Amino acid sequence: MRITQRVKKILDGYEGETPGTKAKLARILMEGKLGGTGKLVILPVDQGFEHGPARSFASNSPAYDPHYHYQLAIEAGLSAYAAPLGMIAAGADTFAGAIPTILKVNSSNSLATSRDQAVTGGVDDALRLGCAAIGFTIYPGSEYAFEQMEELRELAAEAKAAGLAVVVWSYPRGPALDKPGETAFDICAYAAHMAALLGAHIIKVKLPSPVVSLEAAKKTYETNGIPKATMAERVAHIVQSCFAGKRLLVFSGGEAKSLEGLYDDVRAVRDGGGNGSIIGRNTFQRPKAEALEMLAKIIAIYQGKA
C-alpha cells in the first residue's frame, strides 16, 4: 500500500504506537476517494442500538439489512464503516477486505435511564472479524464517566497490543450539563482533549455551538480572545485541543437535516482544519441514490472542489 506524504506526516504524530496500529490507521487514511488526503468520511451505523430499528431504518427500509451499509460505504468510496458486533459480523465474510471496519464495542439504548453504555464487543471479536479498529463511547460529565474511562483504558491497551486502532466517541452529558452545554464550544473542546489523553487515535465529537458553558472556563476564553464567532473558528479550537492537531478529529452529522445545512457544516470542518465527518442518519435514512449523491458532494468539499 502506497503511503502519501500527508498520511506519513499524520502517522509521525502517533509516537509510541506499534507498527501494526499505524498500519491500521494508514489503511483507513488511504481508503476510498479521500485516500491519501488526510481527510476521512466514515459511515457509523449504531443507531439501531441507540434509537431502535424503526426510528433508524423505517424511512429507508433497505437499511434494515446489514449488507446495505457495507455496500453503501463501498460504493460511495468512504474511508471506513463502523457498527456494533452483530452488524459487522453479518457482512464480514461477504465484504472481507473491501473496506476498513470499526467494531463499536460499547452501546446504550433508548430504554435505559442511565447515562452509561454496556460493553457489547471486544478486541477478540475485532480481530476475528478483520476490523481495523475498535470504537468506544465515553460520556464526560456522566455519573459513569470514570468507569467508562477505565473500561476504555483496558480495551485500548488490549487493542493497541493487537495492532488495532482506537476510535473514541466523546459526548459530554450528565447532571451538571444542560442540553446547550452538551455542544458548548468549551465543553466539546474539553471532551475531545480527554479522548486524546485517553489514547484515542481518531476522536469523534459533535459540532460545537458558540456557547461557553463551564463557569470556571469563561474568564479564560474571554481573556485570551479565543475565536468562536463562526463554526470554522470553533472547529479550529477543537483541532487545537487534540494535541495541536496531532490526533485525527472527525465530527458527527447529528440528526437528519437539510442538504445545504449539512454541506455548510462540512465546509466549516474543512476550513477549521478538522479531518472529516462521521455521518450516519443523514446518510442511511435517505434513498440510496440520494445518499450516494450527497456523499459525493461531501467528498468533493473535502477535496476542495465544492
Q: Give the integer Cα–Cα distance in Å for 277 and 251.
A: 5
Task: Name which of 126, 74, 124 is nearest 104 in CA terms.
Answer: 126
As a three-state string, the secondary structure of the chain is CCCCHHHHHHHHCCCCCCHHHHHHHHHHHCCCCCCCCCCEEEEECCHHHHHCHHHHHHHHHHHHCHHHHHHHHHHHCCCEEEECHHHHHCCCCCCCCCCCEEEECEECCCCCCCCCCEECCCHHHHHHCCCCEEEEEECCCCCCHHHHHHHHHHHHHHHHHCCCEEEEEECCCCCCCCHHHHCEHHHHHHHHHHHHHCCCCEEEECCCECCCCCHHHHHHHHHHCCCCCCHHHHHHHHHHHCCCCCCEEEEECCCCCCHHHHHHHHHHHHHCCCCEEECCHHHHCCCHHHHHHHHHHHHHHHCCCC
User: Is 204 known to be catalytic?
Assistant: yes
State the CB neighbour count (10 A cutoff) for residue 294. 18
Out of 24, 39, 104, 204, which one is annotated catalytic?
A: 204
Bridge partner list, 41: 277
Query: Checking DSSP bridges between strand 80-83 and strand 118-119, what pairing results, if any?
Result: unpaired
Residues noted as catalytic? 204
